[in-house]
Amino acid sequence: MTISKKIASALLVTTALALTAGCSSSGTTAPITTTPTTPTTPVTPVTPVTPVTPVTPVTPTTPTAPLTFNTLTPGTTVLFTAHAGSELITFKDGFDLTGTTAPTASGSITATTTGYNITLPGAAGSTTYAVPKAATFSATSSNPTANLAGRFAASTLTYATYGTWATTSVSGTVQSIGVFAGGVPGGGGAGDRPSEGNASYSGKTTGFASTGAAGRYAVNGNVNLTANFSANTIAGSVTGVTAQKMANDGTLGGVALANDISLSAGKITGITFVGTARAVDSANAQFAMGGSTGTFGGSFYGVGAAEAAGSIAMTLPGMNVITSFGVAK
């Protein structure tokens, strides 16, 4: 190395030292301040949802169809306590045409595959007739001297039925006339009625009036009843009562206005009832029954005593009146 190069190198070193010394004399460099990062709050893990066990659906129970009069099992007779008997159908014994026989006896009906076996009482013993399930019926009994003709009253009743009947001789002479009323109690036949409250019923009545051998009339009217199940009482009326003269062949004459009938003082026992019937005096009655007195009675039928059926029997010197009725809420 030459002398000039050594001198130049020494100058560079001297200059570097001088610069370093200058920096040291001006103070220390300020440290860089760093703001610490706030730590992140840890996320609480979500508790897993417990799966809900699905509810097993309940299979709906098919409701048992209520027993109705028109669906009685063949061979079945449903019993109940009624106005004058304890059979499915209460038949009021047909008073003879002189009006001397009280309408008090009872009969029965049993369902068959084609209709009903109707048993009627009589002086010589009961007689059974096989009749079809039809609005009107006729039958010849095993006793060839007595034939039966009758009619189920036209109605919209489900559990109850009512109507009229007559027996005739082989020659066609009417021997006796009567009515029937009955049905199927609710509660599977055991009886079903409210324990409290009131219920109003309306329907029809049909039957006969007899004023002797020459006077036989078809009687019809509108029935209204109010039952107080809390007090076990029942009362009502029969209005719009009419009478039509009947010929031996059943032909009806003109319509005559008759007396209304008051139904009062009725007492309910279980599903049966009985009370007082009286024809109301009226100057407008063309067929006078005023003064006739007697009884009305029957039973409640169907679910919750939905219907009722029964009979009305009244007497007056020289006259007998007997009708059956069916009513619904």
190 half-sphere exposure, CB direction, 13 A CA radius: 2
- Do 185 and 80 touch, CB atoms closer than 8 A? yes
Whole-number pLDDT of residue 95: 43
b/e per residue, 223-239, with b = 16+ CB within 10 A? bebebebeeebbbbbbe
Whole-number pLDDT of residue 325: 92
Whole-number pLDDT of residue 188: 65
Whole-number pLDDT of residue 193: 92
Whole-number pLDDT of residue 197: 96
3-state DSSP helix/strand/coil percent for the chain, to nearest 5?
10, 45, 45
b/e per residue, 107-116, with b = 16+ CB within 10 A? bbbbbbeebb
Other C-beta atoms within 10 Å of 85: how many?
20
Whole-number pLDDT of residue 11: 47
With a cut of 50, list the residues of the chain below it in pLDDT: 10-25, 78-104
pTM of the entire predicted model? 0.73
Whole-number pLDDT of residue 317: 83
- Do 299 and 80 touch, CB atoms closer than 8 A? yes
β-partners of residue 137 are: 150
DSSP count for the chain of H helices, then E strands: 1, 17
Measured distance CA(92)–CA(256) in Å, rounded: 24
Query: What does the block give as tokens for 96?
Result: 């003879």
Domains belonging to the chain, first-starting first, are 69-328 (2.40.160.90)
- Do 327 and 203 touch, CB atoms closer than 8 A? yes
